[in-house]
A and B are shown apart, each in its own frame.
Chain A
C-alpha cells in the first residue's frame, strides 16, 4: 500500500483529523441534553484517540504493530464503556422517567 505525502508531514494531517474528532466530540457532549447524546460525543472522542495512536505508530518512529494493537484496545474500551452507559441510561430511565442530563443533576430527590 502506498503511503501519502501531501503536506511535508502526513502524520500532522492525521493528527489534525483526530483533533477534529475531539472537537466534534466535546461539542456534541456539551450541547446534547440527553444521556444518549452525551454517549455519542464520547464515542466520537474515543475514535479520535484511536486514530491518533494508530497514526503515531504507522507514520512516526514508534512501533507500528504496538500502535495498531493499542487502537484495538481503545476500541475494546469503547465497547465496555458503551455497555455500562446503556445500563446507566436504563437505570436513570426507570427511576426518573426520562434520560435527560437535567434529571440526574441533583444528588438527592
Chain B
C-alpha cells in the first residue's frame, strides 16, 4: 500500500465518512438523524467520484441526491411519524444480527469474486473525460438511454400524481373505489 500518495489518505477519509454516515442512517432511531447520516454518506461518495477523476458525477451526486432525493424523503418523514418505536431488548438484538447477516452475506460473496476471481487489468491513470465529450456522447451514442430516462421520469411523475389524487370532495380516488369495488 502506497502511503506516500495523499490520495490514499483521502480515500480512507471518504471511506470513514461513508461508514459513519451509513451506520447513522441504519441504526438511528430518529428518521431525521438517519437522513442526516444519508447526506453524510452521499458527500463521502461524491468525494470518491472526485478522487477517481469524475467531477461531473460528483457534482450531480450533490445536486440530485443531496438536493432532490433527500428533500423528497424529508417530505415523506414529515408526513409520517418521525421516529421508529423502540422494540424489545433481546428480540431486537437478534433481529439486528440477522439483518447484519443478510447484508454482509451477498456483499462478502461479491467481494470474494472481486478479490480472487476477477482482478480486472488497470488502464493507467484515470483520465478526466471533458464535459464536451460527455455531452456529445449523451446526444449521439447514448441518445436512446437519455430519452428513455426522460420518459421514466415523466411516467414516475404522472404515477405519483395519480396515486395521490383526490376527487372534488377531497376524498382519495383509488382504482377499486372508482370501479365500484370494496
Known A12-B119, A43-B69, A75-B61; judge A31-B152 contact (CB<8 A).
no
Q: Choose one: A6, A39, A76; the contact of B5 (CB below 8 Å).
A: A6
A66 to B: closest C-beta gap in Å: 7
Cα(A88)–Cα(B164), bound, Å: 8
Do the beta carbons of B34 and A37 come within 8 Å of each other? Answer: yes
Docked complex Cα distance between A19 and B15 (Å): 12
- Pick from A5, A19, A41, A72: contact of B110, CB below 8 A: A19
The answer to whether B73 and A69 touch across the interface, beta carbons within 8 angstroms, is no
Establish whether residues B163 and A90, one from each chain, have CB atoms under 8 Å apart when the complex forms: yes
**Chain A residues, Cβ within 8 Å of B128:** 1
Q: Shortest distance in angstroms between B144's beta carbon and chain A's nearest beta carbon? A: 11
Docked Cα-Cα span, A51 to B160, in Å, equals 28
What per-residue 1/0 map shows which CB atoms of A55-69 lie under 8 Å from chain B?
Answer: 110111100111011
Task: Using known A-B contacts A24-B22, A68-B134, determine if residue A58 contacts B126 with beta carbons closer than 8 Å.
Answer: yes
Q: Are A11 and B51 in contact (CB under 8 A)?
A: no
Contact residues on A (Cβ < 8 Å of other chain), bracket: 35 or more
Please indicate the chain A residues that have their CB under 8 angstroms from the CB of B102 in the complex: 26-27, 30
Note all chain B residues with C-beta closer than 8 A to A104: none
Nearest CB of chain B from residue A14's CB, rounded to whole Å? 7
Q: In the bound complex, do residue A40 and residue B35 qualify as a contact, i.e. CB atoms below 8 Å apart?
A: yes
**If A9-B120, A23-B104, A93-B79 touch, does A17 touch B138 (CB 8 Å cutoff)?**
no
B153 with A44: CB separation less than 8 A: no
**In whole angstroms, how far apart are the Cα atoms of A53 and B50 in the complex?**
14
Q: A13-B11, A23-B104, A64-B126 are in contact. Are A69 and B138 (CB under 8 A)?
A: yes
Contact flags (1/0) for A66-107 with B, using CB distance below 8 Å?
101101110111111111111111110111001100000000
Q: A34-B80, A37-B84 are known contacts. Are A9 and B49 too (CB-CB below 8 A)? A: no
Evaluate contact between A77 and B99: CB separation under 8 angstroms.
no
Q: From known contacts A27-B102, A31-B26, A87-B159, infer whether A51 and B73 are also in contact, taking CB-CB under 8 Å.
A: no
**Contacts A60-B123, A66-B137: A14 and B52 contacting too (C-beta < 8 A)?**
yes
Give the interface of A toward B (CB within 8 A).
1-7, 9-17, 19-28, 30-37, 39-41, 43-44, 47, 50-51, 54-56, 58-61, 64-66, 68-69, 71-73, 75-91, 93-95, 98-99
